[in-house]
Amino acid sequence: MGRLRCNKDTARTCILSKRWRDIWTSFSSLVFDQRKIIGQLSGLKTSSEVQTRIQRNMKMLANYVDETLHRHVEVNDGRIQKFVLHITYCKSELTSHVDQWIDLAIRNNIKELDLAVTLDLHKGYSLPQCVLAARTITALRVNG
């Protein structure tokens, strides 16, 4: 009997998971915060540990945002009301990804753009030209 209950719960969870996979794309705000996606770098003892973790985290972040953003555009006819991207530590290799994400969001007629991107060595991130040329943006918040 216990096994039957477990199978029913598994089936319910699977159905819920499939529904959620499609439901989230109906949200018009996409929020990507590095700290919430991959966490902080606390607890690492050596600089090589830190560098290894940073490299891995940047790849994870890039893959996550790429997949999520493209899936949202594909399923949701490209409707994005608000695009939020907060990256507290961005290796310079990731800036081309950031530019592409912003460009994709703008091509999908975003209204609000909220960016907080800090490059390594605390350099500021330079906005791509497409932001200044965007006609649909009604609210722009930039930090970093």
- pLDDT tens profile 49-85: 777 777 788 888 899 999 989 888 887 776 789 999 9
What angle separates helix 95-107 from helix 47-75, to the nearest 10 degrees?
A: 20
- Best mean pLDDT range from 23-27, 84-88, 135-139, 140-144: 135-139
Task: Tell the burial category of 39 from Cβ atoms under 10 Å away from its Cβ (0-12, 13-18, 19+).
Answer: exposed
**b/e burial code for range 50-69 (CB count within 10 A of at least 16 → b):** eeebbeebbeebbeebeebb
CA distance 56 to 64: 12
Task: Tell the burial category of 94 from Cβ atoms under 10 Å away from its Cβ (0-12, 13-18, 19+).
Answer: buried
Residue 20: both structure tokens together: 């959620």
Instruction: Quote the pLDDT of residue 10.
Output: 58
Residue 132: both structure tokens together: 């200044």
